[in-house]
Structure 1
Amino acid sequence: MSTTARSWSRRSLAALGLGLLLALTPALGPFDASVALAQTDPLPSWNDGKAKTAILDFVRRVTTQGGADYVPVEERVATFDNDGTLWSEQPMYVQVVFAVDRLKEMATANPALRDSQPFKAVVEGDRAALAALGEKGLLAIIAQTHSGMTVTEFEAIVRTWLATARHPRFNQPYTALVYQPMLELLDFLKANDFKTFIVSGGGIEFMRPWVPAAYGIPPERIVGSSGKTLFKLGADKPVIEKLAAVEFVDDGPGKPIGINRFIGRRPLFAAGNSDGDLEMLQWTTLDSGPRFGLIVHHTDAAREWAYDRASPVGRLDKALDEAPRRGWTVVDMKSDWKVVFPFDKK
């Protein structure tokens, strides 16, 4: 692994470590945008204000044929982070919760896991031991819970877990913790011939089982972190096996790399919520022509959470400082969104 890859891996592992500590603490067709905007509100869960106006104006400009800012359909690419941008990431990343729950389940089936670190610390909720694990221990937890099976088997495990797991605060399935205003934004962009992609630091095989139903984004448009895999053929049955090694970390500077490698076009529109999205926002907006960068700022402790610079999960510091200079739209969750989750509408 290169020095750069190691630095990305360590940053993601550090986030996983913090998450473990927290975890163990009790499609429409194309249409004329100008006509549609005049007739209906495509973003009904957004309050009128600068953020909503900026989004509507940008889409109008890039989709108006003959206009100075018109962008051909094939160039309309929009990338979205997932954790904290499209669904809730507090009090810990959902994939971290999955890893903790899975390790506890594995320890029940294999009690020997309870006798050795780092697994013992997770099973027993030993926060001091978890804090001292370091990179090696965290890699062992990832390897234990995310490898040694086929990709198909892993995706089935994820589906089973999501069907029963509940968020500790809202007592809702994690897939219910998607942001209603962002769902509307995704639909609005799709209706205006944008091709939408997920570009997330989360594991690609963890996201593929549920993202299509949650966001209407197919699995081939999901860019995420990935472990190494191996193709095997036995008795004329081909499988892809997940190995205990990191291949690519799609976070921070890894996001532009992933976009270039897997999408092949520079986005016209990018949305994120943390410093892990900074480089994606830079890659998207620091180019000629109309560009749009969006940051979801978590400011609503009553309906969701309020956090930014000091948060170990979804820290927003450098990107928040850079936003005014770059002309990025910062969405204030408390003032810009009428509702947060779909169940808030009921």
Structure 2
Amino acid sequence: MFQVTRRSAMKIAALAAAASSMGQAAFAAEPSILPSWVDGDAKARIIDFVSATTTEGGPDFVEPADRVAVFDNDGTLWGEQPMYVQLAFALDRVKQLAPQHSEWQTTEPFKSVLAGDMAGVAASGERGLIELVAATHAGMSTEEFERIVSDWMESARHPASGKPYTAHIFKPMVELIDYLKSNQFEVFIVSGGGVEFMRPWTERVYGIPPQNVVGSSIKTRYELRDGVPAIMRLPEIDFIDDGLGKPVGINKFIGRRPIAAFGNSDGDFEMLEWTTAGPGRRFGLIVHHDDAEREKAYDRDSHFGRLARGLDEAPARGWTVVSIKDDWKLVYPE
């Protein structure tokens, strides 16, 4: 029978202490999870959800094929104030194309755009915005539109900061995307913005490839241009991926019900509602813009990114409300 002497016991204890020290050192050397997030309730909820759904044998385990997460873009992954970035693109396009359209000088909403009257543009409502998109995003091939968007994204600057719009992505949310992907989640953007406006740059900025972007779209048509096949963009709206349209778009273009959804406005309400109403462990998160110093504080009364119903109903529905002011150490990449 093996007997443990005092000498051997001390040696075992020393080896155990050394192993523990090495383990602690290795753990300390690992990069922390979501480093731009404050160690609070919101971060803990995210980590708990990911851990629960990725731990094999656990009651909430989800197979990798079903780990689908969807993110809104405007106001969730990057800034949407003082206006949606795609609207800024459309306004610039109106000014660029105006010499070819003398009728725009007397026709709304183009007249207000050319006069710099944003109140007049806003007064035109959804109909006016659809007219702007139809007039400025159509009449060209998909390849030509991609080039126009890419060039604009390189040259355009945010009116307040003077920086490229891509400098206004939210670092904590990009970390969250990376964290989910590292745990075998497939991540999609599901946005009210134009799908072909986003696809040229989402992979470079967020690491989300074009095929994982769902958005609003205009109609297209296949045709030959001088014998060369092309997909032409038509001045007609095909699909609006906002509000009630988001669950429809997810079902139509992704084909799997997400287990996690991330948004910031009432335009994302139905997406979060549909996602979290499914069976098994689910997760819904709303980014609340309450940091007037580092970003902009807005919710119920905002023309862009209005948040009222989601803010009121989130607690009862178990959705996590993230305070930019209290839950994020950083807002933008340094």
Tell me the TM-score normalised to structure 1 length.
Answer: 0.85
How high is the sequence identity, in percent, across the aligned residues? 58
Point out the more displaced range, 222-231 or 134-143: 134-143
Instruction: Name segments (4+ residues, structure 1) moved above 6 Å.
Output: 35-38
Write out aligned runs for 1:154-193 (5 A): 154-193=145-184
The corresponding residue for 2:84 is: 93
Relative distance call for 1:67 and 1:199 in structure 2 (3 A) is same
Q: Distance in 2 between matches of 1:318 and 1:181?
A: 24
The corresponding residue for 1:205 is: 196
The corresponding residue for 1:319 is: 310
Q: Distance in 2 between matches of 1:132 and 1:338?
A: 37
Write out aligned runs for 1:2-21 (5 A): none
Write out aligned runs for 1:107-146 (5 A): 107-108=98-99, 110-111=101-102, 113-127=104-118, 129-130=120-121, 132-133=123-124, 136-146=127-137
Q: Distance in 2 between matches of 1:68 and 1:280?
A: 25
Relative distance call for 1:72 and 1:36 in structure 2 (3 A) is farther
Relative distance call for 1:326 and 1:214 in structure 2 (3 A) is same
1:244 to 235, 247, 268: 235
Point out the more displaced range, 289-298 or 137-146: 137-146
Q: Distance in 1 between matches of 2:120 and 2:69?
A: 42
CA deviation after TM superposition for structure 1 residue 38, in Å: 10
Deviations 1:10-62 (A, max 9, x none): xxxxxxxxxxxxxxxxxxxxxxxxx9899441200000000000001111111
CA deviation after TM superposition for structure 1 residue 242, in Å: 0.6
2:70 to 56, 79, 83: 79
Relative distance call for 1:130 and 1:76 in structure 2 (3 A) is closer
CA deviation after TM superposition for structure 1 residue 131, in Å: 5.2
Q: Distance in 2 between matches of 1:37 and 1:74?
A: 32
Write out aligned runs for 1:298-337 (5 A): 298-337=289-328
Instruction: Name the SS of the counterpart of 2:53 in structure 1.
Output: helix
Q: Does 1:268 align with 2:242?
A: no
The corresponding residue for 1:280 is: 271
Q: Distance in 1 between matches of 2:239 and 2:149?
A: 20
Instruction: Name the SS of the counterpart of 1:330 in structure 2.
Output: strand
Q: Runs of 5+ in structure 1 lacking a partner? A: 1-34
The corresponding residue for 1:226 is: 217
The one-letter code matched in structure 2 to 1:222 is V
The corresponding residue for 1:12 is: none
Write out aligned runs for 1:1-40 (5 A): 39-40=30-31
Q: Distance in 1 between matches of 2:97 and 2:198?
A: 21
Point out the more displaced range, 127-136 or 81-90: 127-136
CA deviation after TM superposition for structure 1 residue 68, in Å: 1.2
CA deviation after TM superposition for structure 1 residue 201, in Å: 0.3
Q: Distance in 1 between matches of 2:97 and 2:137?
A: 12
Q: Runs of 5+ in structure 2 lacking a partner? A: 1-25
The one-letter code matched in structure 1 to 2:155 is T
Q: Distance in 2 between matches of 1:275 and 1:117?
A: 28
1:255 to 246, 250, 253: 246
Relative distance call for 1:302 and 1:119 in structure 2 (3 A) is same
Q: Does 1:150 align with 2:141?
A: yes
The corresponding residue for 1:10 is: none
Structure of higher CA gyration radius: 2
Relative distance call for 1:181 and 1:145 in structure 2 (3 A) is same
The corresponding residue for 1:57 is: 48
What CA RMSD, in Å, does the superposition of the two structures yield over aligned residues?
Answer: 1.9
Relative distance call for 1:116 and 1:47 in structure 2 (3 A) is same
CA deviation after TM superposition for structure 1 residue 111, in Å: 4.8
CA deviation after TM superposition for structure 1 residue 136, in Å: 4.7
Q: Distance in 2 between matches of 1:72 and 1:106?
A: 50
The one-letter code matched in structure 1 to 2:92 is D
The one-letter code matched in structure 2 to 1:215 is Y
The corresponding residue for 1:18 is: none
Q: Does 1:297 align with 2:288?
A: yes
Relative distance call for 1:36 and 1:113 in structure 2 (3 A) is farther
The one-letter code matched in structure 2 to 1:298 is H
Relative distance call for 1:231 and 1:51 in structure 2 (3 A) is same
Instruction: Name the SS of the counterpart of 1:294 in structure 2.
Output: strand
1:48 to 20, 35, 39: 39
The corresponding residue for 2:206 is: 215
Instruction: Name the SS of the counterpart of 1:342 in structure 2.
Output: coil
CA deviation after TM superposition for structure 1 residue 175, in Å: 1.1
Instruction: Name the SS of the counterpart of 1:198 in structure 2.
Output: strand
